[in-house]
Amino acid sequence: MKKNSYEQLSIKYPEIPLAQTVVKFCELKAIQNIIICAGSRNAPLTNGFVENPFFKTYSIVDERAAAFFALGMAQQLKSATAVVCTSGSALLNFYPAVAEAFYSNIPLVIISADRMPHRIDIGDGQTIQQKGVFEPHLVDFAYLTPDVTHAVNTLLENPNQKLVPPDATAGSLKKRQKEIQEENEKSIDAVLNHCQFKSGPVHLNVPMEEPLYGMTTSPIQITNCNSPQIKSLKVDFEAVRKQWHQSVKKIILVGVNDPNTIDQQWLDAIGSDPSVVLMTETTSNIKLSNAISSIDSLIAPLENGEMDFFNMLQPDLLLTFGGMVVSKKIKKFLRTFAPKTHWHVNPYRAYDTYYSLSRHFTMPADIFLSQLLEENTSTASDYREMVLKRYQQHLDRGAAYLRHIPFSDLKAFQTLFKQLPEKIHLQLANSSTVRYAQLFEMPRLAQVFCNRGTSGIDGSTATAIGASLINSSPTLLITGDLSFFYDINGLWNNYIPAHFRIIVINNGGGGIFRILPGEKDTPKYNTYFETIHKRNARQLAKAFGLGYKSVKTHTGLKWALKSFFKPSRCARILEVKTPRKANDSILLNYFKAMQKSYI
């Protein structure tokens, strides 16, 4: 609906000016998807968003799930989504998603209702210190000033309030309200601009006094709404290209990266340069035939003392772009065999992950590569050939090993990735799931996402559901049992599309701890580390109205996958039960099978 047609409708607005102002700014900034958590103090905001036909509103009770649901939407939209809550502890439940949005560069707007400042810490219910709760993990924030022309008598009668003198006249209140309105507009404008421009989470804290439910047909006129100012960066690419071509051993390492963000011609140029080894991860969404797409399959078999190969692999120049890297093994290698030069390309920030960061290019990777590779010239070298030869040897030995292993996590993931539909929107949970996914090829058209900003197991289900409402492809969430049960409330909503699918790899506990060092199979380990359980997803599927099937054999999994992705009237869960104690040795022996034997 066009904006000018809104004026023809009888839209109602919150009577509280601040609430109306926040809602109006979200409209002006094209923040259309609003996730609302139930509450009373946020009623003016809720009513304002719901009454305006510009917005698409969603009701989700659990605040933690709601924030991840909003994050999933913003992840796909590449633009801000807002999540709204009442005052008190409700706000604190947003924090896991706020941290994830900060480290994943996802624009997320947190809008919290609040008590009036003079009602904090006096013993009233649902009041906490909301100011500053997220600040280390925000790109901007505004703790807005409450109105002084709403609930005037309540305000003036309160002996603790410092907003206006107790004997303030109607004229002075009106003057102060005008000043407050201008201050709030400027603050909201700046914060929402930074949310999009800096691509990260922001917080608007909105203190309001009762009565909360009043509505009006008189809109406030906003006068301080501006577009974000984008600064251009000048780079001497002639010097950059010179250093690039002088380096005969180059690694390009790509972390989390959105699909279709790198033009194919630059990938082709990288693929034709014999001095470049391209290392990608499943979450990089880059698929090139001569890339190292399973980094651990290259590194892990070499860890028992092949120093000669590691010395050869050590790059002169490391170029990284994208977000967080999953592989701990490549991090350890590059920290030990440091590159002479490390360039990182990211519009927002650069981490010195490998202790050798030389330069940060604050621009999108596609723009950087278009400038770096515009001459499309290669550097003579046998670097890539030597690395790819060894990598292929490892893959061949690994494939031979996989043909003979029993049913396990590793076998289940191999089977699953072989039978994925060609075009699918894939959401991966963290811990074991995303690490197993690094070992196998994905369908060429698959789009892969994972909350790698903080790498937590919380929120994977809610994120995937939010994302599924934006991405037009069928959505599959692959998750472990602990991650799935941890985020049960991610299923507590009315928006799960029928094409949504969940595969739960249930090995009866935190299976990744069996791979890590430490004592195993003791009461302490079983209880506090692996956290062994006997839960399954059958009753949860029934409770939330989802289809369900369980398998525990290789043959059963293959047959189940043949029909699992077919259209259905409701979303489905496939629970894959694997042996708890076999998975760690099968995975570790996979890498041992790749090792080269020496006489």
List C-alpha distances in Å: 235 to 250, 340, 360, 369. Answer: 21, 21, 11, 13
Q: Alpha helices of 487-531 — where are they, by DSSP H?
A: 512-515, 523-528
- The confidence score (pLDDT) of residue 230 equals 74
Q: What is the pLDDT of residue 306?
A: 83
Angle between helices 583-593 and 409-418 (to 10 degrees): 70
How does pLDDT run along the chain (599 residues), one tens digit per residue? 344 444 446 899 999 999 999 999 999 999 999 999 999 999 999 999 999 999 999 999 999 999 999 999 999 999 999 999 999 999 999 999 999 999 999 999 999 999 999 999 999 988 999 999 999 999 999 999 999 999 999 999 999 999 999 999 999 999 999 999 999 999 999 999 999 999 999 999 999 999 999 999 999 999 999 988 777 778 889 999 999 999 999 999 999 999 999 999 999 999 999 999 999 999 999 999 999 999 999 999 988 778 999 999 999 999 999 999 999 999 999 999 999 999 999 999 999 999 999 999 999 999 999 999 988 788 899 999 999 999 999 999 999 999 999 999 999 999 999 999 999 999 999 989 999 999 999 999 999 999 999 999 999 999 999 999 999 999 999 999 999 999 999 999 999 999 999 999 998 776 666 666 667 767 776 667 767 778 899 999 999 999 999 999 999 999 999 999 999 999 999 999 999 888 889 999 999 999 865 33
Query: Is the Cβ–Cβ distance between 140 and 190 less than 8 Å?
Result: yes
- Note the pLDDT of residue 10: 80
Angle at 17 between CA 15 and CA 18, to 5 degrees: 125
Alpha-carbon dihedral angle through residues 299, 305, 311, 317, given to the nearest 10 degrees: 30
| Cα separation, 35 vs 108, whole angstroms | 11
Model confidence, pTM: 0.95
| Number of Cβ atoms within 10 Å of the Cβ of 487 | 25
Give the Cα separation of 148 and 163 in Å (integer): 7
- DSSP code of residue 292: B
Query: Cβ neighbours of residue 265 under 8 Å, at least 6 residues apart?
Result: none
First and final CA of the chain: distance in angstroms? 75
Dump the DSSP string for 152-176: HHHHHH-TT--SS-TT--HHHHHHH
Strand ranges, E, within 243-381: 250-254, 276-280, 317-321, 341-345, 357-361
User: So what's the pLDDT on residue 201?
Assistant: 98
Instruction: Count the neighbouring beta carbons within 10 Å of the beta carbon of residue 68.
Output: 35
Q: Write down the pLDDT at residue 210.
A: 96
Integer Cα distance of 446 and 284 in angstroms: 11
280 vs 325: CA distance, rounded Å: 9
DSSP class of residue 39 equals -
Joined together, the tokens standing for residue 212 give 């909360």
CA–CA dist 19, 206 (Å, integer): 7
- Residue 376 falls in which region: left (phi positive, over 0), alpha (psi -120 to 50) or beta: left
What's the rounded Cα separation, in Å, for the pair 420 and 445? 11
Alpha-carbon span 232 to 584, nearest angstrom? 50
Q: Give residue 234's pLDDT.
A: 82
What pLDDT does residue 584 have? 87
Domains of the chain are: 3-212 (3.40.50.970), 239-390 (3.40.50.1220), 405-593 (3.40.50.970)
Residue 530 is predicted with a pLDDT of 61
